[in-house]
Amino acid sequence: MSQITRPLLRMLAVLWTAVALALPAGAADTAEQRADRTAMLRTIERHAQSATDALGREHIDPAVLDVMGQLPRHAFVPDNMQDQAYDDRPLPIGYSQTISQPFIVALMTDLLGVEADDVVLEVGTGSGYQAAVLAELAHEVHSIEIIPGLAESAAERLDTQGFDNVETHLGDGYYGVDTAAPFDAIVVTAAATSVPPPLIAQLKPGGRMIIPVGSSFSLQHLMIVEKDEAGRVRTRQTLPVRFVPLTRGS
Ligand code: SAH
């Protein structure tokens, strides 16, 4: 082996290890999936132009796009939908529920403004994809799901992929997760008819909640709920959206 080839191979080995470490464990990625994911990011960026008012700028936070560019969405969609895993639309995940449209995940994550030491609550675990995106940006994520079958499969999926800063909970997310409150940020991924008071109570002063509000049969809007340092709550309405309804437990 020549003097040049050996260091080159060593460098490649180091590079490969770095790439492998950057990916969640158990996520095998094909070149096609990587290309589809890059295309998905471009679509998200294009859609962001239509959300300029909500975002206050034309672009989604690059840190959010970076995470979504790494994360294998295909690992969160059913086997029979793999060819659509990177399409910019919601997909069925069983139990009449859906994994949200990638643009909406990017938008909600951006609006949430998560910081590295934040403790975040997600209501509506579903596939676990949104929780995984949050886990890459926050210190700790709690995600609550009301359907036992989904809660179980998402917990297993997140575990297999090495997300050890996500804790999944089974229950009615209308009441939040009292044992882990208060939260720096709360994202609700199912539409409520109004903002649940227990979630406002579990928001830290200075915290922020993103939640779709409206009836399941008519228009819903993405709302930004902010609690200031004095505990005063201010609510703003942004884009029209369409989410599955926040159902209620007993
Ligand atoms: N965030 C998910 C998609 C959410 S779909 C993802 O990334 O895949 C909305 C989810 O909210 C569904 O799984 C639904 O079962 C759940 N849900 C509905 N009502 C709920 C409630 N009251 N408490 C907790 N989860 C609820």
pTM score: 0.89
DSSP letters, 113-164, are T--TT-EEEEE--TTSHHHHHHHHHSSEEEEEES-HHHHHHHHHHHHHTT-T
Which is higher by pLDDT, 49 or 97?
97
- Pairing of the two strands 220-227 and 203-214: antiparallel
- Give the least confident one: 6-10, 22-26, 179-183: 22-26
Mean pLDDT of 23-47: 84
| Residues sharing a CB contact under 8 Å with residue 87, sequence separation 6 or more, in sequence order | 40
To test the pocket of ligand 1, the residue of 81, 193, 247 to mutate (highest count of ligand atoms within 8 Å of its CB) is: 247
Summarised one tens digit per residue, pLDDT across range 66-125 is 999 999 999 999 999 999 999 999 999 999 999 999 999 999 999 999 999 999 999 999
- Give the least confident one: 11-15, 75-79, 141-145: 11-15
Q: Which residues are catalytic?
A: 100
Distance (angstroms) between ligand 1 centre and the Cα of 173 equals 9
Mean pLDDT of 20-41: 76
**Distance from C-alpha of 247 to C-alpha of 200, rounded to nearest angstrom:** 18
**Quick one: pLDDT band at residue 26, thresholds 50, 70, 90?**
very low
212 lines ligand 1 (CB under 6 A): no
- The pLDDT score that the predictor gives to residue 175 is 98
- Pairing of the two strands 183-188 and 203-214: parallel
